[in-house]
Amino acid sequence: MPCHIVKAEPLYHGLKPAKHGFCVHELLGHAEKENPATFGIWSIDAGNPITYNKLPYHGFVAVTEGELLVEDLDEKTEPVTMHAGDLLHVTVGTSLRWHTPTKCKGVYVHLKALGDSVFVDNLE
């Protein structure tokens, strides 16, 4: 069984914004029909919040640096502040908004096929 290692830290420096200073880059994954999964890195600069309406799959996020304010738009809750080491699980169909007061970065797992652009295509 092969093992794949990617040195992620240097890749943060070359990230291109997908929307409003939010950068995301897929690193590893597969497109198996029954259990698709994608692992990647992200960063966000201070500025406009990012919104995603009705995430079509489960997502898992870890903050590795800085702080991220996350708001569940379906529950109409106050934003929750995530810090380095905090984890987030977003269930299928959830709408959310996120931003940072400074700069923040982290990693994610999306239960979607590697190369499927649905996440980036639907950022607001």
Pairing relationship of beta strands 96-99 and 67-72 according to DSSP bridges = antiparallel
pLDDT value of residue 1: 53
| Radius of gyration of the CA atoms of the chain, in A | 14
Give domain 14-121's CATH number out of 2.60.120.260, 2.60.120.10, 3.40.50.720, 3.90.550.10. Answer: 2.60.120.10
Tens digits of residue pLDDT in 67-102:
999 999 999 889 999 999 999 999 999 999 999 999
Instruction: Flag whether pLDDT at 31 surpasses 90.
Output: no
More confident of the two residues 95 and 31: 95
Residue 4's pLDDT band, with cuts at 50, 70 and 90, is: confident
Within 10 Å of residue 7's Cβ, how many Cβ atoms? 7
Distance CA 91, CA 100 (A): 22
Note every long-range contact of 72-81, with CB atoms under 8 Å and residues 24 or more positions apart, other chains counting. Answer: 72/96, 73/97
Distance CA 23, CA 9 (A): 14
